[in-house]
Structure 1
Amino acid sequence: MAEEREPQRTPSTTVPRGDLGRRIERRRRELGLTLEELAFRAAMAPSYLAHLEQHSTAAPEAGTLLRLAGALRTDPTELGGGHVDLPPGIGQASRSPRLTELGEEECRRLLSTHGVGRVAVSTEAAPLIVPVNYSVVDDAVVFRTQPGTVSLQGLGREVAFEVDRVDDALSQGWSVVVRGHAETVTDPDAVRHLAEQAFSAPWAGGERDVWVRIDITALTGRRIDTW
């Protein structure tokens, strides 16, 4: 297999702006592919692919980017970060969509260990939804926040928590909704346990030392794919 040419130092106007290397690696890991497997799919040398992943300023030619996007089941704009400021789901709907309800086991698998989800709470003024970095610990959704935040207005009552994934390139996606009782965790041993077991730290930073636990009482989900 012939080696790919070294990438140009000046970014091409056909390559979307963004940290291409990190996005290639993240998408590759999402699909469970090794460097060698992705290189085979994209018909390029593993050493060149490693170069792209390790150099955030790499700017491959348009044809190379197109092959990579196809091998990663996405599109060049998404791979290059061109959609970073746009909401997911801007792609066209599939011509033959299929909507299915997910079982509890599949919902728990998709909820997984951690990520970014949305907490929906009822307030005196109106229902509100806020994103949080969450983890799943001891079969409960947990996250850290700070006093006075919207998410704390749901304490002592049932709240909803939603997490989803959208694949614009394939017009596919899924969503999982949790319902459960929200409460703060104040016991020192319990707080220490959550700090040791939780995967995600709040992206917003700052002093966020209030732990909230949502015990899962109901779990539903849906998936959209194609026939």
Structure 2
Amino acid sequence: MSDLNVSYGLGARHEDHELAEERCWALLGASGVGRFGFVHEGRVAVYPIGYIVLHGSIFFRTSREGSIAKSLPQAGVSIQTDSTQPSVQAGWSVLISGEAAVVEDSEELTRLHGHMQNEPWAGGIRDLFVRLDPQQVSGRQVYLAK
């Protein structure tokens, strides 16, 4: 018997289901914190980000000198966010994949400055806005069956 089975309850039944796209967007919008996955110098990189959802796209700020900025524009990137409740063995995860690029349009930048109130958690100057235009939206929820 493995420790994994014991710690999660031997024979515990879990149910999971795909989340509707509308529910994925609601969870994504409510979270505001996730992970940005992309390829940099031939390797997968995943960094925590704070973001906003606006007009069907996802926006976040980064450093002009960092690996994210140096890797853009790039297709096939993803933003993932989730929530877990280990005490009841439940949680959800949302994954948005698409193309990311630096925001350069002055009107769009002005609009973003009005919406992004929170400072990025990472240190240093984070004044480069990135937009992810989604092409795929998926999500799953898992919970202990009754």
Per the shorter chain, which TM-score range? 0.7 to 0.9
Alpha-carbon spacing, 1:213–1:113, altered in 2? closer, same or farther (3 Å): farther
What is the RMSD of the two structures over their aligned residues, measured on CA atoms?
1.7
The alpha carbon displacement at 1:199 in A equals: 4.8
Higher strand share: 2
TM-score (norm 2): 0.84
Residue 137 of structure 1 corresponds to 54
Residue 65 of structure 1 corresponds to none
| Equivalence map 1:33-72=2 (5 Å) | none
Residue 93 of structure 1 corresponds to 8
User: Is 1:181 aligned with 2:99?
Assistant: yes
User: Is 1:208 aligned with 2:123?
Assistant: no
Q: State how far apart, in whole Å, the 2-side matches of 1:106 and 1:214 are.
A: 19
TM-score (norm 1): 0.56
The alpha carbon displacement at 1:188 in A equals: 1.9
Residue 45 of structure 1 corresponds to none
Q: State how far apart, in whole Å, the 2-side matches of 1:128 and 1:177 are.
A: 15
Q: State how far apart, in whole Å, the 2-side matches of 1:146 and 1:126 are.
A: 19
Alpha-carbon spacing, 1:160–1:121, altered in 2? closer, same or farther (3 Å): same
Asked which structure has the greater CA Rg, the reply is 1
Say whether the 8 Å CA contact 1:121–1:129 is kept in structure 2: yes
The alpha carbon displacement at 1:113 in A equals: 4.4
The alpha carbon displacement at 1:99 in A equals: 1.4
User: Is 1:193 aligned with 2:111?
Assistant: yes
Higher helix share: 1
Q: State how far apart, in whole Å, the 1-side matches of 2:37 and 2:135 are.
A: 15
Across the two proteins, how many residue pairs are aligned to each other? 136
Unaligned runs of 5+ in 2: 1-6
